[in-house]
Structure 1
Amino acid sequence: MKLTVVGCSGSFPSPDSPCSSYLVEADGYRLVLDLGNGALGALQNHIGLYDVDAVALSHLHADHCVDLCVYFVARNYRQEGCPEPLPVYGPEGTPGRLARAYDMPEQPGMSGVFEFHTLTPGTFALGPLTVTAIRVNHPVEAYAFRIEHGGRSLVYSGDTGECPELIELARDCDFFLCEAAFTDGKETVRSIHLNGREAGEHAAAAGARRLVLTHIPPWTDPQRNLRDAEAAFRGPVELAKAGATYEI
């Protein structure tokens, strides 16, 4: 698999990155995980605008899904005609959420442009990829994903606070893309986000082989979170950067 970080800023875009969006490619199949603020523009640096095969949304906060509204425009009003409906996997209520964000009637909403599928915990196939979704610890319905192909595994945490289920999902994974939005000792609100130390602890408990920290907001010191994660996890740790690519 090839992973491209399209955007990795948490909560709102930074000067250097759009919000959350990650491109996973295998055997010519292209899956986009989340499409937050500004991500559609950056995605076009890596693939063609109409080359996406499916989108999976971890949850319905704007910094993870709102660019589907502009992707609707790009597909619906394409000069050559709208492409076939694009499969979009998201939490319950995804079609209505996007329709309201675009200020359009919920029926039919965007259903002629996107083919909506409601996520539930479990495993399903997307092209050559095997995807396992679990619920994680966030104020809204939110999912983490484990994506497997050719004996290799990538786990994306989405947004979550401390979550034993995430540790199990990430068990022995090759690549753990884990959010670290909070700073240890600064934010004390539970069940929203992890900090760098907690991300490192989750990776260590899971036996992950590699940890990449993501979803760090512009007001959080990424180097502090990196140091905190390195203190908790003995494997390789780095910060996600927009445009970075990884072979998994």
Structure 2
Amino acid sequence: MKLTILGCSGSIPGPDSPSSGYLLESGDTRIALDLGNGTLGAMQRFIDPFSLDAVFFSHLHPDHCADFGALAVLRRYHPNRPGGRLPVIAPANAPQRFAALYAPDAEELAVTDLSDVFEFVQVSAEPVRIGPFEVRATPVAHLCESWGFRVEAEGKVLAYTGDTGPCPQLTDLAADVDVLLSEASWEDSPDAPDGVHLSGRQAAEVAKSAGAQRLLLTHVVPWANGDAILAEAEAVYDGPAELVVADGSYEI
């Protein structure tokens, strides 16, 4: 299983990276986890977006889903677009939210139905199989409905937290995984709001308690100190840990 970082900037695109988006490949099957601002452009450096087999959305904040609008244009209007519908596994209100993102005004929104090119599937705890991938979703703590994903293929397991504050579900999500791809938005601070994001220390505590073999930190906001976030994670977690970078690839 191969992980490619399409974007890893938290909350907004940064000077060196689009917002959150991650490409997973196993054999000839390709899935994306989130498509934040700028990630569709980055994807084209690695694959033909028409070769995607599914997209999973952890939640519907723009830094995780804004490029769905661009994907809709591509799949509707490219002169050589293939047939068929792309599975989109996302929170329940995604069809309406994504239609509003795509439609420029209320009149067009009233008649916009994206089901001609997308097959919307409501994310739930039921596992989803896409080729060799089995994806299990776990609800996590954030400002809106938000899910973490546990992805298994080729005998390897990756857990992706999406956006979350500390919560007990994260330990189950990341239990004994080969890689924990965890948000670590900011440095640890008693003034950080509860139930929004993880610090580097908190991400490391999840990795340690869950027995994750490797920790990859992502979603660092552009105004935070990434080196300090990594340092506080390394002070807690004994395994290999690193900050991911845009366009980076990792074999799992």
Normalised by the length of structure 2, the TM-score is 0.95
Separation in 1, partners of 2:124, 2:163: 16
Q: Is 2:204 the counterpart of 1:200?
A: yes
**Do structure 1's residue 234 and structure 2's residue 233 form an aligned pair?**
no
Correspondence for 1:149: 153
Matched, 1:217 2:221: yes
| Cα deviation, residue 16, structure 1 | 0.8
Separation of aligned partners in 1, 2:191 and 2:71: 34
One-letter code aligned to 1:67: D
Unaligned runs of 5+ in 1: none
> In the alignment, is the contact (CA less than 8 A) between 2:184 and 2:220 conserved in 1?
yes
Q: Tell me by how many angstroms 1:106 deviates.
A: 5.6
* Counterpart contact for 1:75–1:83, Cα < 8 Å: no
Q: Deviations over 1:140-197 (max 9, x none)?
A: 1000001111221000000000021111111110000000012211642000000000
Distance in 2 between residues matched to 1:106 and 1:144, nearest whole Å: 32
Aligned pairs (5 A) from 1:53-92: 53-81=53-81, 83-92=83-92
C-alpha distance in 2 between matches for 1:29 and 1:82: 16
Select the residue among 118, 126, 136 that pairs with 1:114: 118
What is the Cα deviation at residue 80 of structure 1?
A: 2.5
| Equivalent residues of 2:185, 2:197 under 8 A apart | yes
Q: Distance in 1 between matches of 2:199 and 2:81?
A: 45
Query: Do the aligned partners of residues 43 and 106 (structure 1) sit closer, same or farther apart at CA in structure 2, a change above 3 Å counting?
Result: farther
Which of 185-194 and 220-229 deviates more?
185-194
- 1:102 is displaced (CA, Å) by 2.0
Q: CA deviation at 1:81?
A: 4.3
- Specify the alignment match of 1:138 in structure 2: 142
3-state SS of 2:114 partner: coil
> Is 1:179 aligned to residue 174 of structure 2?
no
Pairs within 5 Å for 1:91-110: 91-103=91-103, 104-105=108-109, 108-110=112-114
Contact in 2 for aligned 1:100/1:106 (Cα 8 Å): no
Which residue pairs with 1:10 in the alignment?
A: 10
Matched, 1:159 2:159: no
Q: 2: CA distance between counterparts of 1:83 and 1:233?
A: 47
Larger CA deviation: 58-67 vs 116-125: 116-125
Higher mean alpha-carbon deviation, 81-90 vs 40-49, is at: 81-90
- Hey, what's the Cα distance between the residues in 2 that align with 1:128 and 1:179? 25
Q: When the two structures are aligned, how many residues end up with a matched partner?
A: 248
Task: Please give the root-mean-square deviation of Cα atoms over the aligned residues, in Å.
Answer: 1.2
Secondary structure, aligned partner of 2:247? coil
Is the CA contact 2:141–2:195 (under 8 Å) kept in the aligned structure 1? yes
Alpha carbons of structure 1 residues 81 and 99: separation in structure 2 relative to 1, 3 Å: same
- Show the 5 A alignment for 1:32-51: 32-51=32-51
Equivalent residue, structure 1, for 2:174: 170
Offset at residue 122 of structure 1 (A): 2.8
* Residue type at the aligned position of 2:46: H
Aligned-residue identity in percent: 46
